[in-house]
C-alpha cells in the first residue's frame, strides 16, 4: 500500500491512477510540493520519505533493489 496524506491505494493502482497533489489556497513559498509518503507491505513499512515535486510533473518513487 502507498499512502499520501489521508489517501492510500495499492502500488499497482498508483501507476494507473496517480495521487493528485493540489496547491493549498494560501499558495506555496516555492514552486515545489513537499509530499510525505509511506509504502507498506503486509503491515511492514518499506519506505517512508518526503518527495519534492514540481507542480504539473509526475514523480515515480521506486524501491531500491
| Residues in Cβ contact with 45 at an 8 Å cutoff, skipping those fewer than 6 apart | 38, 39
Handedness of CA 20, 18, 9, 45 (dihedral sign): negative
CB 47 within 8 A of CB 61: yes
pLDDT score of 59: 82
pTM score of the predicted model: 0.68
Q: What is the pLDDT of residues 7-26, one digit of tens each?
A: 999 988 988 998 888 776 67
Q: What is the pLDDT of residues 18-63, one digit of tens each?
A: 888 877 667 666 778 888 999 999 999 988 999 888 888 888 877 6
Amino acid at each position: 500500500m502507498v499512502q499520501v496524506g489521508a489517501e492510500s491505494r495499492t502500488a499497482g493502482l498508483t501507476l494507473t491512477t496517480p495521487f493528485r497533489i493540489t496547491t493549498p489556497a494560501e499558495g506555496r513559498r516555492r514552486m515545489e510540493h513537499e509530499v510525505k509518503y509511506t509504502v507498506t507491505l503486509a503491515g511492514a513499512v518499506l519506505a517512508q520519505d518526503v518527495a519534492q515535486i514540481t507542480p504539473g510533473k509526475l514523480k515515480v518513487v521506486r524501491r531500491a533493489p
